[in-house]
A and B are shown apart, each in its own frame.
Chain A
């Protein structure tokens, strides 16, 4: 998304032949009216930008090409959209943009993931095992987890899910697999006990405290490259973790949880302390404000003349674009001179 898209999101549409840089400067200067916002002032741009910075890092904020019309029309996709939002629990402002992400999953894609999940599980033929599967389907072996991820890769190659979604799914699956095995309770249970921010924070703390997690996760990365070695070292069964089907579906259906899961995993891979909770009072707000302060720069005398030329050129171009307005003022001068001159006389 470039500057043109950003300003068009805000309701500023440049004419086809206009210089975009000048148009943006005019928007900043407040001389361009905002679409459907008669009370717009240029000072509002600060609020828009802050809001943009807050949401820019959210994966569901990235727009797909076809989602703009789908979100605005609410016609043919309305049923799927309602079904999709019904699965999410966070009743906040992100609901409207949740379906527009390149990471989040549409209902039909969640169904694909569900089938891959079932296919990856080794289901014995006994009636008791099938009954237990229906009760709480889950992947508890590392080998099965790898099988599931390979199936996801194949689905990505076929085109059933996008590469972004595949990457997000891999991050979320690995986070859920290890963390869930340590907490002992499911994602939904954690949600019901407290806010999502606290729950994710606890998950992050657990992952920090256990160095084994990092080591095992790194080994999983290695195992992706050489699955045979891992299989042999883990004695055929792999480490024990739990990836509940309900947790996976719960995470995939909610863009915010998906984002936080990805952050957990990315923080672990980057080897730094996971800062997961944006709502925590003791944590810094990660992206809602600029990370650097504006520093005043000192310029020499030679730069003053260059700045003078720069500003004069820029302002001359601006006046040139507003030549029609100036001509109107000139007509007023002519009209006033004729009128008052005739009244005053010699």
Chain B
């Protein structure tokens, strides 16, 4: 055999191990590359704020999750690469000893196995880059994300390639270097081959049944590999929990906030052009555009008093809210705050165009998720600002005020409202009337009783409004609400999908771990079979090992994942019993799926004849 052919032949000889290593490496590289490409393309990138969709507050929640999931995916990738290269090289320690014992110089043996490592790393990284691009292309062409198609940033490919290649090389070289230092006799010893502990002095679970005794002691004997596996799987389960629990809780929470802000069972009554403009402003949240030269204060849009009389006559309409919309410019007013008896300036004199909405504070249908409070009454000079305008124009909004048409209003609250993507200020209606010399609102929100038949009341309302003004129309906001909530759900489902690759890689590594366990214990299993153990007993011993490793990682990963999700990433989460059921279902499905797939080598092994195992 030529010197050059040895590494290739050796990799081909260990087909299962080589395939597992290659696939694991490929999915790690692919998942990281996909995350970078996709997040940038959708415009919710970790480094770039593309504010055409989602309000700043919503983007911040999503971005935090994406950043955290990104860090975890990279961490999982790093741990996987370190684990699989460790596993790959540790299992060559014995061969290292054998070749050295046969008289081959140390440098040549190192060269053989280093070449193997380089081949696997190169092939895995290349395949991963290709799979990453393919997955990104496939996902971006799915219905929900077609609006975000743009050329992917190809520079991520060399970045991810180099990062994982170097990482794999560092972790692969460590056991290789350790093997090179060993004498041939020590390298041949099973102690080295399986990374076992010296001796067998730990009598774990002495009082338990035979299966548990063998399982617990084998796990302790393979301490090095077991600890690595538990650390690695724990990271995967943290990632899974943050992704699954996080995306479900965040999806429910943000959807609930949107519903509360827009209003459920709410009708919109306004001039038909005003209705179109309002719905476009609401849909900017999910990527739509609204007219920029729209004259909100056109006299035709003012709702006559007759409209309110007609509405009062309708049964089933529980509440009304009058709103006056227009566009204006607001200017930040600088303020001061005190800290340790020093005066610190807050803000500057930034300006921005904003949607200005006049509301009656005592008669508001929206239940915003907000920081601060509502204006005290209809004529005070206080305002609530949207989260986006708060981020763009103010430094500490609740300590500041702004000027608008020669009036100065104190900011008393910051709210999450999808309208105009959060570039909105809510000010008392009476004050706006004075400033703009208008007396009537240009839009009316009507909240219906939940028991009301929606279609019949719309029909009745249409007829009554037609008598007042044929240009007035009724619009059901549920449609726009569903569109926004649907967009949010689609966005969160991306996070739900992101750990799929890591989960796949983790399953493959768990299979790799069981292959190692089988390799290490194969002779003992053969002896047990000769002494009367049934194939099912061998399968049980391997299955329990897999379960213990999985469950210990699961318990640690889930606990930490939940803490991260609820205490760090999501303020005031909406958690219903259905949310808990959904999260438990997903996590259990992942656990059961991983467990069943990990049994594949064990099932294959248990079926083998005793002599084949012994040979």
Partners in one complex: no
